[in-house]
Amino acid sequence: MDDHNFGTRNKRGDWAPNGHIEVAPFWAWPPKLMTVLKWLPEYVWPWNAFHMATALLYWFYVVPEVAVMKTLSWGWPLWLYAVNAGAIFVFYGSVELLFYVKRKQGNRFKYNAKFPGEQPSDVFWFKSQNIDNFLRSFFISIPLWTLVEVVFLWVFANGWVPWLSWADNPYYLAFLVAVAPMIHEVHFFFIHRLIHWGPLYRWIHSVHHNSVNPSPWSSLSMHPVEGFLYHAVAFWHLVIPSNPIVAMFQLHIAGFGAVNGHIGFDKLEITEETPLDTHAYAHYLHHKYFEVNYGGDGLIPLDKWFGTWHDGTKDGDVQMQARFQKKKERMNAKTARANS
Ligand SMILES: [Zn+2]
Ligand SMILES: [Zn+2]
């Protein structure tokens, strides 16, 4: 597949898609009904359908009996950890293997021409982004993901929060499923914005940002505080009346869905004719420029509302530079005041 039909490559070899990242069409005014209808299948397929499928597989084949989950022990949480780690190993690992190790599509559709394996750096454990990211994912973030999972299952099992049944509340629960990706977006935006505040950034979030050129293993490479807060999005289902399957879906949007922003390619060529959109560009720009696109790719356009949106165009660049310039002036004025 020729990526020049979809974007441009600069002198350094970095590829950028044509057009601009668009926020979800239901924010358009006046409303564009047809565009919304066309967008709906894309909202469901393939990513959210995949997260729902894994949530259901877990519920029916992995999650233990309610009676078992009433009591905290080591057995069932370790089992859940093993499944989570195995699933991420296979899912993230196969993207990593095919596109980063075997490089099956070379650097077609790749935002950054370089591969992380080629760039050793002191910021990483063992000077390797891959090893550092891998160890942090499996020994920090996935245990914390599992912790969140165990806590909400334990709370549901003990009946300490409402457990709505599908038979009695089909419309309400279907609605919750439909808005779960939006809950994710809002939760992620605010915790992410918070840990970009100077002191918290240096303490917590800089770990994730060491990967300026992310690959799938970077997705869950986080400081423990971030690893916990990120997956804690599932706890919203202990606050709003819900059902553990919806909470599991919410958790999988976070855990499995983290890969979306970090694939590094705009499209994965599943076959020569069928490219898979990764929706990675907005978050790639976040890793590149740090202070843009704190949320996802515009499902709830919080970045637009807070003035930190970068839509991937030259115009987005100009707006970002103007914002940085203003910030610099504010800082300079502050220092001048402090010195006078
Ligand atoms: Zn990231
Ligand atoms: Zn960040």
Q: Domain tally for the chain?
A: 2
Contact partners, residue 79, CB within 8 Å, separation at least 6: 62, 64
How far is 171 from 51, CA to CA, in rounded Å? 20
**pLDDT for position 278:** 93
Instruction: Say if residue 233 is in the same domain as residue 333.
Output: no
Element (H, E) at 8: strand 7-9
Query: Is residue 13, in this structure, part of any structural domain at all?
Result: no
Instruction: Say if residue 154 is in the same domain as residue 130.
Output: yes
> What does the pLDDT profile of the chain (340 residues) look like in tens digits?
889 999 999 999 999 999 999 999 999 999 999 999 999 999 999 999 999 999 999 999 999 999 999 999 999 999 999 999 999 999 999 999 999 999 999 999 999 999 987 888 888 988 899 999 999 999 999 999 999 999 999 999 999 999 999 999 999 999 999 999 999 999 999 999 999 999 999 999 999 999 888 999 999 999 999 999 999 999 999 999 999 999 999 999 999 999 999 999 999 999 888 899 999 999 999 999 999 999 998 999 999 999 999 999 999 999 999 999 998 999 899 888 888 7
Which listed ligand is nearest to 291 at the C-alpha?
2
Element (H, E) at 267: strand 267-269
Ligand 1 centre distance from Cα of residue 22 (Å): 19
CB atoms within 10 A of CB 330: 10
Ligand 1 centre distance from Cα of residue 213 (Å): 10
Ligand 1 centre distance from Cα of residue 307 (Å): 19
**pLDDT for position 28:** 92
Tokens of residue 97, six digits: 């293997």
Query: Is residue 288, in this structure, part of any structural domain at all?
Result: yes
Ligand 1 centre distance from Cα of residue 335 (Å): 32
Domain that holds residue 68: 24-306
Instruction: Say if residue 215 is in the same domain as residue 328.
Output: no
Ligand 2 centre distance from Cα of residue 121 (Å): 19
Query: Is residue 115, in this structure, part of any structural domain at all?
Result: yes
Query: Is residue 10, in this structure, part of any structural domain at all?
Result: no
Instruction: Say if residue 259 is in the same domain as residue 319.
Output: no
Instruction: Say if residue 147 is in the same domain as residue 57.
Output: yes
Contact 229, 102 (CB under 8 A): no
Ligand 1 centre distance from Cα of residue 260 (Å): 9
Which listed ligand is nearest to 293 at the C-alpha?
2
Ligand 2 centre distance from Cα of residue 56 (Å): 31
**pLDDT for position 337:** 87
Ligand 2 centre distance from Cα of residue 282 (Å): 12
Ligand 2 centre distance from Cα of residue 118 (Å): 23
Instruction: Say if residue 89 is in the same domain as residue 177.
Output: yes
Instruction: Say if residue 248 is in the same domain as residue 322.
Output: no
Q: What does 125-142 look like in DSSP terms, one character per residue?
A: GGG-HHHHHHHHIIIIIH
Instruction: Say if residue 271 is in the same domain as residue 318.
Output: no
**pLDDT for position 119:** 82
Contact partners, residue 205, CB within 8 Å, separation at least 6: 192, 195, 196, 223, 226
Ligand 2 centre distance from Cα of residue 187 (Å): 14
Ligand 1 centre distance from Cα of residue 302 (Å): 17
Instruction: Say if residue 33 is in the same domain as residue 106.
Output: yes
